[in-house]
Amino acid sequence: MRCHPRGKRSELVVGDRVRWQPSGDEGVVESIEPRRNLLFRQDEWRSKSFAANLDQMLLLVAVEPVFGESQLARALIAAAAAGIRALIGLNKIDLPAAAEARARLAPYRAMGIEVLEFSAKADSTATRALLQQRLADRATLVLGPSGAGKSTLINLLVPQARAQVGELSAALASGRHTTTSTTWYWLDADRRGAVLDSPGFQEFGLQQIEPQRLAELMPDLAAELGHCRFGNCTHRQEPQCGVHAAVQDGRISASRWRIYRELYEELSRPRW
């Protein structure tokens, strides 16, 4: 049954549970049930919702094109803020630069985030077997930058989806945006598990996050909280900072601390 919201404006997102009434051959959405969670990004101008009522997020990156660690961190922070479990999928591990990509993800493994490695094109059988175990009986949003192989992965898991696969743009070293809206695909006939294909992104705003919450949403920094001299420490330049000491000891990578400081400064700017 195809349903439409009342009026021209709607707050509906993929994954919402709704109450509806029949209206001829279609239906009309009367109300939205309370959400368990909502994953979205927000910059200075607008918010973009991905999906609601998720069990987990599979953040897909690839050996090529080289993924941005800042984008990766931002998406993980948004998931943590929404209370959504996150997995990282490293695609295209058959390519020569796989060892370098694996090393860049080492800090995320160390902080307890599961990293799944596969090559959706080169070894589709093993990829399908690996992911079916992790996705069964769950609603999973597949999120990641353009070119990471989201649509290829969706086609592998749900062949009937016929998701459009874009060609990689060598000139831009990134993929063309081939998915324009989030789409829900059932994984099985019993409709117990689903994957959601989402648009690729180049930016991931976090204006919904208060800067004071940032450290607690980054697991490696959160593990060091409570060891600072000052109770209101921002973990950037204060003396006797537990987070800074962890960076110096190697428990927090220098790149992760740099991302934290850049994000803290960004989120602390006046909002007009």
CATH entry 1.10.40.50 includes domain 211-268: yes
Q: How confident is the model at residue 202 (pLDDT cuts 50, 70, 90)?
A: low
Kindly report the pTM of this predicted structure. 0.88
Q: Outline which parts of the chain fall under CATH 3.40.50.300.
A: 38-197
Q: Outline which parts of the chain fall under CATH 1.10.40.50.
A: 211-268
Query: CA 159 to CA 33: how far, in whole Å?
Result: 31
Query: CA 82 to CA 76: how far, in whole Å?
Result: 10
Q: Is the pLDDT of residue 1 over 80?
A: no
In the prediction, which pLDDT does 272 show? 61
CATH entry 3.40.50.300 includes domain 38-197: yes
* Least confident span in 95-109, 185-199, 214-228: 185-199
Query: CA 117 to CA 90: how far, in whole Å?
Result: 5
Give ∠ CA 83-196-24 in degrees, rounded to 5. Answer: 110
Q: Is the pLDDT of residue 48 over 80?
A: yes
CB atoms within 10 A of CB 116: 16
Give the rounded percent of residues in the chain with a pLDDT score beyond 90: 70
Query: CA 150 to CA 157: how far, in whole Å?
Result: 11
Give ∠ CA 185-54-256 in degrees, rounded to 5. Answer: 115
The residues, ordered by sequence, that sit 6+ positions from 255 with a Cβ below 8 Å of its Cβ are 69, 107
Q: Buried b vs exposed e over 193-230: b needs ≥16 C-beta within 10 Å?
A: bbbbbbbbbeebbbbebeeeebbebbbbbebbeeebee
**16-36: pLDDT as tens digits:** 999 999 988 889 999 999 999
In the prediction, which pLDDT does 90 show? 98
Average pLDDT, the chain: 89
**53-94: pLDDT as tens digits:** 999 999 999 999 999 999 999 999 999 999 999 999 999 999
Among 146-155, 161-170, 246-255, the range of highest mean pLDDT? 246-255
Query: CA 104 to CA 255: how far, in whole Å?
Result: 10
